[in-house]
């Protein structure tokens, strides 16, 4: 089997497995690539195909529906995923010849049922010949499909932001994000990393509000390089760095990171503390916590103790600082986590909100008098953000807010004193955070 056919087969398998298991796309993709013997170039090709197909699933389904008599979502799931995968290559991957996308899809379709190859061949050849116009915004259902977002998300955003801001957010979520790296200050420096990139002619942009963060155009090359392997660098978006700035951890303190995995913020806290003091890294997922421990070992953090804990129930040690980065809908990180938009439904927001309030109320019990707790999400939704904080402050009169603008640049602070990052404007992941102090 040729690498090109093998790559498409693996990409198709990832799409099918993700939907069957309801697992995170990145987890399934990571496991599949790790067990593959394909070269790095093919793995990059697979990643682009898989993530691109899921990112643009709404538009792909919209276009395919124009060419198929029966309802697209009534097709057998394997068949629909194969059509989406090939359609993505045709519409979005200029490096892939149309004939290659069609012929490989037809070959793979032989694994489905007798009539599948003929259907796949006919639909894809028709797609190549057909120009499908963008729907008018007056037809909101089709317009949302064209922009590859579920309508319920768009409906919510339109009640809060202008049409221009909503379109900017949709475009941001549909773009391929660059990789951000954070320099590990325990044994590396921004100047050294700049020199490393310049010597290799790798384009980059240094984040103006924290010199340790670099957006790198050829992130894959850095990930495969020695400086990542030796622990000089972490992958982290600057939005996570701003949250750590809001926490403002001090050397020698005791810090709880209550929903810590996979550990990006935990590591930055350790660096801010210069490996002095104690960090308890808790999470309820043993597998993700194991990844955190592996990263800590690679990066040389010596003051982190990781343990499995249910933050809603288990006893926690007392601490001067607590970071509570809660599970959430993830609507601020749809560019990076491309499958979230299809896995979430609106009713989950209140479920998340109840869990978040429970986590916050329980974690807050472990904060010492005068201590700081930072509550954060990667959500843009008010139920998970101010809704939780306002409810908490009404129920816990011994807590009050510190304005975020004292610890981060004012442009990231909303009118009420919380950190709020809006991706198209700030050019980083979206999210929300507040700094709470105990009297």
Instruction: Identify which of 436, 423, 432 has the alpha carbon closest to the alpha carbon of residue 173.
Output: 423
Residue from 242, 190, 197 nearest 216 by CA: 197
Beta pairing class for 179-183 and 204-206: unpaired
What letter does residue 134 receive in the DSSP assignment?
A: P
SS3 state of residue 374: strand
Provide the terminal-to-terminal Cα distance of the chain, rounded to the nearest Å. Answer: 67
Q: Which of 331, 429, 428, 343 is nearest to 384 (CA)?
A: 331
State which H helix or E strand residue 369 sits in. strand 367-377
**What count of Cα atoms within 13 Å lies in the side-chain half-sphere of residue 136?**
2
Residue 378 annotated as catalytic? yes
Strand ranges, E, within 89-230: 179-183, 204-206, 213-216
Strand partners, 421: 431
Phi and psi, residue 407, nearest 5°:
-125, -20
CA distances from 181 to 203, 206, 245 (A): 13, 10, 17
Instruction: Collect all residues with Cβ–Cβ distance below 8 Å to 369 and sequence separation of at least 6.
Output: 438, 439
- For the chain, the C-alpha Rg in angstroms (whole number) is 23
**Distance between CA atoms of 43 and 224, rounded to whole angstroms?**
13
Cis bond upstream, residue 408 (ω within 30): no
The dihedral through the CA atoms of 267, 360, 307, 294 has a sign that is negative
Active site residues: 378
């Amino acid at each position: 089997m040729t690498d090109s056919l093998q790559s498409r087969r693996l990409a198709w398998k990832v799409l099918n497995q993700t939907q069957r298991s309801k697992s995170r796309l990145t987890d399934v993709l990571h496991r599949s690539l790790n067990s593959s013997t394909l070269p790095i170039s093919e793995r990059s090709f697979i990643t682009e195909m898989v993530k691109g197909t899921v990112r643009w699933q709404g538009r792909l389904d919209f276009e395919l529906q124009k060419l198929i008599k029966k309802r697209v979502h009534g097709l057998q799931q394997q068949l629909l995923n194969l059509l989406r995968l090939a359609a993505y290559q045709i519409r979005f991957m200029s490096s892939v010849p149309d004939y290659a996308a069609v012929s490989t899809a037809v070959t793979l379709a032989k694994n489905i049922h007798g009539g599948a190859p003929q259907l796949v061949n006919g639909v894809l050849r028709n797609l190549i010949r057909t120009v499908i116009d963008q729907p008018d915004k007056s037809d909101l259902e089709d317009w949302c499909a064209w922009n590859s977002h579920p309508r319920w998300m768009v409906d919510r955003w339109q009640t809060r932001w202008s049409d221009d801001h909503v379109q900017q957010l949709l475009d941001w979520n549909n773009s391929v994000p660059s990789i951000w790296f954070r320099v590990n200050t325990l044994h590396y420096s921004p100047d050294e990393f700049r020199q490393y990139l310049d010597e290799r002619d790798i384009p980059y942009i240094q984040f103006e509000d924290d010199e340790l963060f670099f957006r790198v155009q050829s992130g894959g090359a850095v990930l495969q390089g020695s400086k990542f392997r030796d622990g000089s660098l972490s992958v982290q978006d600057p939005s996570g760095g701003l949250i750590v700035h809001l926490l403002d951890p001090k050397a020698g303190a005791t810090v709880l990171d209550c929903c810590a995995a996979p550990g990006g913020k935990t590591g930055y806290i350790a660096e801010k503390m210069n490996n002095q003091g104690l960090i308890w890294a808790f999470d309820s997922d043993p597998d993700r916590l194991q990844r955190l421990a592996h990263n800590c070992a690679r990066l040389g953090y010596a003051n982190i103790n990781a343990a499995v804990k249910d933050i809603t129930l288990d006893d926690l040690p007392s601490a001067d600082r607590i970071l509570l980065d809660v599970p959430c809908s993830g609507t601020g990180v749809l560019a990076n986590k491309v499958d979230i938009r299809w896995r979430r439904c609106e009713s989950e927001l209140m479920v998340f909100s109840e869990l978040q309030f429970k986590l916050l109320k329980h974690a807050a019990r472990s904060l010492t008098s005068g201590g700081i707790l930072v509550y954060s999400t990667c959500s843009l939704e008010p139920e998970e953000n101010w809704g939780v904080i306002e409810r908490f402050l009404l129920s816990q009169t011994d807590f009050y807010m510190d304005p975020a603008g004292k610890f981060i640049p004012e442009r990231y602070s909303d009118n009420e004193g919380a950190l709020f990052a809006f991706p198209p404007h700030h050019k980083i992941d979206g999210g929300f955070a507040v700094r709470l102090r105990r009297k």
